[in-house]
Amino acid sequence: MDYNTSAKQIIEHVGGKDNVIKLIHCSTRLRFTLADFDKANLDALKQIDGVLGAVIASGQCQIIVGNNVIEMFDAITPLIGINNTNELGNTPKMRWYQILLDFLVGVFQPLVPAIAGAGVLKSLIILCSSLGWISATSPTYQIFNFIGSAPLYFLPLLIAVTTAQKLNVNHIVALALVSVLVYPDLVTALTKGTTLFGMKITNITYSSQVFPAILAILLYAVLEKYITKYCPKPVRIFLVPLLCMAITIPVTLFVLGPLGYYVGEILTAVILWLYGHFGWIATALLAAILPLMVATGMHKAMIPYAVPTLTKTGYEALYLPASLGHNISEAGVCFGVAIRTKNERTRATAISAGISALFGITEPALYGITLQNKRALVPVMISGGITGGLIGLLAVKAYALVGPGIASMTMYVDKKNSNNFLYACIAFAVALCLSFVLSLILWKDEEVGESKEIKSNDFVTKDDTLTLEAPINGEIKDLNSVQDNVFSSGVLGKGFAVEPNDGILFAPTKSKVIMTYETGHAIGLLAENGAEILIHIGLDTVKMKGKGFNVRVQENQIVEAGEVLIEFDLDLLKREGYDPTVILVITNDNNKEINFPKE
């Protein structure tokens, strides 16, 4: 694979480097924050060599690359510049719960490598001790045990850094603030009982705590902003952190610390109650639906639950055990597909993805095999659900926050219960064998011919030629005249533009509405011959957030040529300074001929 070529194509199809606000990556995905998500061509991205899939979710354009994510990231960053300074003007508006989830994931996700590495190391040293290879009282055992325990003990400090990064405040000051909570002399004073300003401070052990540190840095972020605004510039370097620390620490000791502590206690108690009453059912259900959760990014919501639960109880009994059933089921299905398929490319993808899933990385399997064919998805979900139920009945617990796989199975080692590891290994074998057998039974290669999407859509006919009418009254113009490189370059597809005379958008042909936008500035259509059409009203009009737009149709609605799709206030667009040009592009021609109206 030529990473440089693929990197250039990825940048092109996310709207160019000027459209990229931020780029990060996880274990399998490139995560782009874009100025305008309408400029991302997901279909074109999916065709790039090395790309397994592309979705827009959680305020990001996520491009699934699989095991080559680091190499692809390294190829892209020099081309876009690591420090992109674009403003976040056009990012999708999120609801309050989406903002909260994004914040929590942003705080907890970066912690996973340190916690996972330490947890597996600790489980390995426990396993060695259980097998008699090393004494639990030896200095070697104790030092490695310290290494494994330290990240969870000093978790408030790690939380301080990630929260400060998420809130874009000074990391070092944030770290200094929270370090007070685990300062040995303060811990001793709290244990004996101490006061501040004559008022008693609640005795709380802040080591391994999560929420007190988050609340403290949230307060610090607010204080830093306002104190910096009014503080004289010559003394900011010491006066801003001085005042922030002098205010934040007392407020945390009196209010935020106890509040965060009790929030964590209540959350843990609720989860343990639910698990105690519905354990095996919850584990089975979660393991079955994990493929869909991972595909949409919803599994990230489990991390803010798993981290505090693991630190509070020392184990996690729902998400990580369920993940064992899902991950190994993905591997088994891929290996079964590799045997059954006659398609060499599918076989190669299945083998590679199966090996990755076996080691706990499932996204190559999901996007390369599972989500592309229900004959692969069904056995994964059946096997995952059955194995998850077995895991729940056996009460398997995880002791390290890491993706379950063959190399990380020691995460289930429990020095107080040797059967826990044995039961986890049994579940591993059941998931692998069951999913493998089910895939052998259910898998069938796609027939060569029309694509699956076209065959499954009864609306699409076999007409080869599509003739389009102008979607609005006005002067028809060539696409290259549009003052936007993404449209004028043809990156999104061939088409034309119209300088509108009014604000009524019509259907250019009989079609099915396949996409509408809350902002009302664009619409996606599926023509009878399978061609996909995007109509975009104006340039950068997503910034209007729906003001002046009235969508008259719904998704999946069949519309006749000339039927009204959207009404918009043309005069308002002009007054607000937007270019009102209406652009129509064919994002997927389905290999059919398209006739555009003449200028």
The tens-digit pLDDT sequence of the chain (599 residues) is 789 999 999 999 999 888 888 888 765 678 888 888 888 898 889 889 888 878 776 667 888 886 677 788 889 988 887 544 344 444 455 567 667 777 877 888 788 788 878 888 888 888 888 788 988 889 998 999 899 889 888 989 999 999 998 888 889 999 999 999 999 999 999 999 999 999 999 999 888 888 899 999 999 999 998 898 888 878 888 899 999 999 999 999 999 999 988 887 787 777 777 777 777 888 898 899 888 877 655 676 677 778 888 877 888 888 899 999 999 999 999 999 999 988 877 888 889 888 888 988 787 787 778 877 888 999 999 999 999 999 999 989 998 888 898 988 988 998 888 899 999 999 999 999 999 999 999 998 765 444 444 443 455 665 668 889 999 999 999 988 888 766 776 767 789 999 999 999 999 999 999 888 778 888 989 888 888 898 999 987 877 878 899 999 988 889 998 999 999 999 999 888 889 999 998 888 777 888 898 87
Q: Report pLDDT for 590.
A: 75
SS3 75: helix
Q: How far apart are CA 273 and CA 384, in angstroms?
A: 24
Q: Per the CATH hierarchy, to which homologous superfamily does domain 3-93 belong?
A: Glucose permease domain IIB (3.30.1360.60)
Q: How far apart are CA 403 and CA 321, in angstroms?
A: 10
For 599, other C-beta atoms within 10 Å of its C-beta total 10
* DSSP letters spanning 317-340: -SHHHHHHHHHHHHHHHHHHHHHH
Residues taking part in catalysis = 26
Task: Find all residues with CB under 8 Å of 166, minimum gap 6, and list them.
Answer: 103, 106, 107
Q: Report pLDDT for 310.
A: 81
Please give the DSSP secondary-structure letter assigned to residue 256.
Answer: I
Are the C-beta atoms of 510 and 563 separated by less than 8 Å?
Answer: no
Nearest CA to 421 among 79, 1, 128? 128
Q: How far apart are CA 368 and CA 349, in angstroms?
A: 7
Q: How far apart are CA 532 and CA 513, in angstroms?
A: 10
Tokens standing for residue 226: 């306002």
Alpha helices in 480-543 (DSSP H): 485-488
Domain edges within the chain: 3-93, 109-278, 280-442, 465-595
What is the bridge-based pairing of β-strands 532-537 and 582-588? antiparallel
Are the C-beta atoms of 206 and 155 separated by less than 8 Å?
Answer: no
Q: Report pLDDT for 441.
A: 93
Identity at 406, one-letter amino acid code = I
Q: Report pLDDT for 378.
A: 92
Three-class secondary structure assignment of 185-247: HHHHHHHHCCEECCEECCCCCCCCCCHHHHHHHHHHHHHHHHHHHHCCHHHHHHHHHHHHHHH
SS3 350: helix
Beta bridge partner(s), residue 495: 585
Q: Report pLDDT for 122.
A: 84
- Give the position of tokens 């400029």: 39
Three-class secondary structure assignment of 482-494: CCCHHHHCCCCCE
- Give the position of tokens 């990230």: 300
Task: Find all residues with CB under 8 Å of 177, minimum gap 6, and list them.
Answer: 160, 216, 217, 220, 244, 245, 248, 249, 252
234-273 as b/e: b if 16+ CB within 10 A: eeeeeebbeebbeebbebbbbebbbebbebbeebbeebbe
Nearest CA to 244 among 167, 141, 155, 329? 167
Is the domain spanning 465-595 CATH 3.40.50.720? The answer is no
Cα angle: 65, vertex 70, 72; to 5 degrees: 60
Q: How far apart are CA 53 and CA 64, in angstroms?
A: 5
How much is the pTM?
0.55
How far is residue 279 from each of residues 218, 284, 286, 404, measured CA to CA in Å?
A: 34, 9, 11, 19
Q: Report pLDDT for 91.
A: 46
Helix, strand, coil % (nearest 5) of the chain?
A: 55, 15, 30
